[in-house]
Structure 1
Amino acid sequence: MKIKSASLFFVAIFLFSLQIQAAEQHHKKQPNILIILCDDLGYGDLACYGHPHIKTPNLNQLASQGMRLTDCYASAPVCSPSRAGLLTGRTPNRLGVYDWIPEGHPMHLKREETTIAQLLQQAGYDTAHVGKWHCNGLFNSSEQPQPGDHGFRHWFSTQNNAIPTHENPVNFVRNGKPVGEIEGFSCQIVADEGIQWLKGQRDKEKPFFLHVCFHEPHERVASPPELVKQYLDESIYEDQAQYFANVANMDAAVGRLMKTLDDLKLADDTFVFFTSDNGPETLNRYGKGSRRSWGSPGVLRGMKLHIYEGGIRVPGIIRWPGHIAPGQENHTPVCSVDLLPTFCAMANVPLPRERPLDGTNLLPLFSGKSIERTTPLFWNYYRAYSTPRVAMREGDWKVVAHWSGPEGILPLGNNVNSISQQIIKNAKLTKFELYNLKQDISEQHNLAWQEQDRLKAMQKKLVQKYAAVQQEGPVWDTTEYEQIREKRLFPQKSKK
């Protein structure tokens, strides 16, 4: 009788140990990863970030199911650099992606750079990119790497914006083959592709990484008429209603993606991160035909193209059931360059060591712990609309720097060229401003004189970081691009 009892006891212990091992294996299981990136969505553009008019029920729900970040940053205040920084975990000037990339420009995300998609693909993930790419000038050409060369097995992408507008775009390419005109609105078309891939095209034996890049709410804005009507009243212009409806349409597309995860029973095993590539566009920057940039930076100073908070601080929402308690609001500064080291930790992938990384692993944050940064958050944009061109944040404090290059908006033609690159590579930092963002989120009170010791310490770090990044950034040969552009702009001159 005693032997039988002892046997049962050891069987129970054995079964219990198996349960523990199974739980540990489940905990170590590589999660699915979904990034949703908007284009020019402002910090104040969502209802859950305080917008008084725009209705975003799906993103409100996503925030209630996870963590809403109050201090979330893009890696740059403009499109292409921000996207390149997100994919590589490196501040964009290291990569030579100094500005948005015009069609035909030699600037691109180089083949030798390591991306999130490549690392996850090597670790057994199936990968897909749907939507705006904007990491090269020669799109769908063998002369520069395409999404497929940077780790995305499936891609359905555009070089830059949806053309001619968000409605019925004509410029999507699927895995190297142009698709032609597609009826509908861009965010729903992009969501459709992502949903179809999740349902029928991904390898279901593998975890997935899906990178969804909406064109909304970047100009040229076009929105469903039934949504526009919901925002029209005596106090709202039609162009303004178009923008509000544009954000609402994007929110509906997010809702469809979340429903698909639920329907496929993938939600509990999927890490979702929603954010924007930079702050909201300034009204009328694109001139005639583009008057619908009614985005809001909320209480922040500046907008897109600024080194002040309005250009770089963006919405950030994370959901990861079982790992992130729902209904949280977190004030820790995080940035899109943190995603690569975070995903490497989540997927048990070694970090790439051949080049410096600028992000850090965010996993401790999800369990209520502090994160460790070996390098402060850093931004550098040579064509910033703000007078300062460089910024660094460390804790609650942010230092911004003027430079020895030209002040104001640089009259350097259309983007990166031989003249601007000389300035980018040689300009020195000069005057500095200092802000306590915890007490002064709107950056109205420069504390450089009151906090001289702190300024001196942060200034030293910033100058060192700037010099290292400045030295690493490559120089592009833009001769041919400049000649082609000059012929196009001044045809009579080129005939002489």
Structure 2
Amino acid sequence: MAKDPVKPNVVVIYLDDLGYGDLSSYGATEISTPNIDVLANEGVKFTNGYATSATCTPSRYGLLTGVYPWRNPKAKILPGSAPLIITTEQETLPKVFKKAGYQTAIVGKWHLGLGAGNVNWNQHITPGPNEVGFEEAYILAATQDRVPTVYIDNGYVDGLDPKDPISVSYKKNFEGEPTGKDNPELTTLKWHHGHNNSIVNGIPRIGYMKGGEAAKWTDTDMADHFLKKAQTYVREHKNKPFFLYYALQQPHVPRTPHPRFVGKSGMGPRGDVILEADYVIGEFMKTLEKEGVLENTLIVFSSDNGPVLQDGYYDDAMEKIGDHTPAGKLRGGKYSLFDGGTRVPFMVYWKGIIKPKVSEALVCQVDLVASMADLIGVEADKTDSENILSAFLGKSKKGRKELVLEAGSKTSYRAGDWVMIPPYKGAKMSWHSFVESGINQEFQLYNLEKDPGELNNLAKSEPKKLQKMLTKFESIRGKDYSNIKK
């Protein structure tokens, strides 16, 4: 393809636990997301766009490295104290952009580990985003529901008072520190499962933390805080090509909308924070336009995995869902091997360059490394990432032919319109999140074009198709799935 004379800025906007059916542009009728809808309706809206995984850390690993996360046994949901799981030698999306002279930055959620183990939060924290390709990094270490509940600015805790050092543990509490389990009277949000350790801003978290009072974030201001950082970054770097990974925390728990958005959705805090995310994305787009870079900025929008309603707190997400279907026509959600776990909203927007289109091409976030390298004219190390730039730009109906998907270290295989889930032992329903796991002790085979809800298992009626897919799947995975696996 002919290269444009000016290399475009590239922004990846990444949401957290946003489902296939959570946007009005993807069919939601009970909630309206007009700003995000601009990206979908005026860009390429993919109906077969995937994260690599049904949970956060693995998907982010795949997005940034171009490597299937199941290849890295450490790519599982990480505690806030975990060491960095991307090696400093690995190819990464920001490194690809740096090869072409881009300035690179991340603003928002990281959740890929920091340091080399036993992090001292009161000193420079390394390695981290800065050591794997991001020249600027303003992040939260893990998730909003995990300690440490502080922002990290290029390896340093933002606003830390050295007289009040931070201590973090995921094993035992610090003496005298209240917890959600022992001190429910100090909480403003009731925990449902797991989230019953240190209390910050009235919210019980996962893990224990002591100190760092001046540096602790205010949950209800987080969306505005990250927005301002992203806007400032654009203003300061608009005169040179930049790559910005803008990783929002919504609608992950704890769902803490700013008072401006409380009650606006009628669906409780989960709906409110989706509206809040739509707002900040709209404000970010206004900044791109005001600074004169919108027409030279390619925007990729997606989510790290499918939706979940009950994920650790009682916040009315299940009680107030009404007629809204977070996964849309898909079965399952976060944590699930069914399509609702990994098929997510996915769109590519470039004002004036990309023509509005709905694409059925099979695309995955793992393909951004190879595809963006082609866009900006550099070579990327060979990984699982495929160059499907033409599909991303809406110039081709063809994406990748096949895809290995992952949920909880278990994998499935999609080829064309078909998906095969091998047999696994385990529970068919997640007891804590009330999401179907997709686990079954028999093979599952579905035709997603005819049966997007994965209700009609064709494994027994289509034995030749099943065997063909199984053979190819086993060749990729390097495992024998002919017997039921644990």
| TM-score in terms of structure 2 length | 0.77
Shift of 1:226: 3.5
| Rounded Cα–Cα distance in structure 2 between residues aligned with 1:364 and 1:280 | 26
Which residue of structure 1 aligns with residue 204 of structure 2? none
The CA RMSD measured in Å over matched residues stands at 2.8
| Rounded Cα–Cα distance in structure 1 between residues aligned with 2:135 and 2:392 | 31
Stretch deviating more after TM superposition (454-463 or 288-297): 288-297
Q: Is the 8 A contact 1:102 1:137 kept in 2?
A: no
Shift of 1:434: 1.0
Matched, 1:378 2:378: no
| Rounded Cα–Cα distance in structure 1 between residues aligned with 2:385 and 2:392 | 17
| 1:304 equivalent among 312, 326, 334 | 334
Q: Is the 8 A contact 1:101 1:137 kept in 2?
A: no
Stretch deviating more after TM superposition (182-191 or 81-90): 182-191
- Deviation by residue 1:377-418 (Cα, 9 ceiling, x = unmatched): 1113346xxxxx321111111111124xx422899xxxxxxx
| Rounded Cα–Cα distance in structure 2 between residues aligned with 1:444 and 1:370 | 27
Shift of 1:215: 0.7
Seen in structure 2, the aligned counterparts of structure 1 residues 292 and 220 have a Cα distance that, compared at 3 Å, is: farther
Shift of 1:430: 7.8
- % of aligned pairs identical? 29
What is the letter of the counterpart of residue 304 of structure 2? D
Shift of 1:370: 3.6
- Deviation by residue 1:434-486 (Cα, 9 ceiling, x = unmatched): 1111110000011112222221111101111122799xxxxxxxxxxxxxxxx
Shift of 1:266: 0.8
Matched, 1:215 2:192: no
| 1:58 equivalent among 35, 50, 73 | 35
| 1:153 equivalent among 135, 146, 151 | 135
Which residue of structure 2 aligns with residue 439 of structure 1? 450
| 1:345 equivalent among 374, 381, 391 | 374
Which residue of structure 2 aligns with residue 317 of structure 1? 347
| 1:133 equivalent among 104, 110, 119 | 110
| 2:427 equivalent among 408, 421, 426 | 408
| Rounded Cα–Cα distance in structure 2 between residues aligned with 1:218 and 1:302 | 17
What is the letter of the counterpart of residue 256 of structure 2? A
Q: Is the 8 A contact 2:368 2:385 kept in 1?
A: no
Matched, 1:70 2:100: no
| TM-score in terms of structure 1 length | 0.75
Matched, 1:449 2:460: yes
Shift of 1:371: 3.2
Shift of 1:144: 5.8
| Rounded Cα–Cα distance in structure 2 between residues aligned with 1:175 and 1:214 | 18
- Deviation by residue 1:121-168 (Cα, 9 ceiling, x = unmatched): 122000010000000155768786301011111110011123689xxx
Which residue of structure 2 aligns with residue 185 of structure 1? 221
What is the letter of the counterpart of residue 269 of structure 1? N
Q: In structure 2, the residue corresponding to 1:185 is in which secondary structure? A: helix
Number of residue pairs the alignment of both structures matches: 405
- Deviation by residue 1:65-105 (Cα, 9 ceiling, x = unmatched): 21211111111100000000000111102133431111223
Q: Which runs of 5+ in 1 are unaligned?
A: 1-23, 233-239, 384-388, 412-428, 471-496
Matched, 1:253 2:280: yes
Q: Is the 8 A contact 2:75 2:85 kept in 1?
A: no
- Deviation by residue 1:262-313 (Cα, 9 ceiling, x = unmatched): 1111111111011100011241x41x55554767111211110001011101
Q: Is the 8 A contact 1:282 1:303 kept in 2?
A: no
Q: Which has the larger radius of gyration?
A: 1
1:76-95 pair list within 5 angstroms: 76-95=53-72
Seen in structure 2, the aligned counterparts of structure 1 residues 368 and 118 have a Cα distance that, compared at 3 Å, is: closer
Whichever structure has more helix as a proportion of its residues is 1
Seen in structure 2, the aligned counterparts of structure 1 residues 381 and 137 have a Cα distance that, compared at 3 Å, is: farther
Q: Which runs of 5+ in 2 are unaligned?
A: 159-214, 431-439, 482-486
Which residue of structure 1 aligns with residue 20 of structure 2? 43
Q: Is the 8 A contact 1:390 1:402 kept in 2?
A: no
Q: Is the 8 A contact 2:114 2:127 kept in 1?
A: no
| Rounded Cα–Cα distance in structure 1 between residues aligned with 2:429 and 2:128 | 30
What is the letter of the counterpart of residue 478 of structure 2? A
Q: In structure 1, the residue corresponding to 2:423 is in which secondary structure? A: strand
- Deviation by residue 1:207-237 (Cα, 9 ceiling, x = unmatched): 10000001111001111334223334xxxxx
| Rounded Cα–Cα distance in structure 1 between residues aligned with 2:285 and 2:399 | 31
Shift of 1:63: 1.7
Q: Is the 8 A contact 2:13 2:245 kept in 1?
A: yes
Which residue of structure 2 aligns with residue 464 of structure 1? 475
Matched, 1:162 2:189: no
Q: In structure 2, the residue corresponding to 1:155 is in which secondary structure? A: strand
Which residue of structure 2 aligns with residue 4 of structure 1? none
Seen in structure 2, the aligned counterparts of structure 1 residues 104 and 469 have a Cα distance that, compared at 3 Å, is: farther
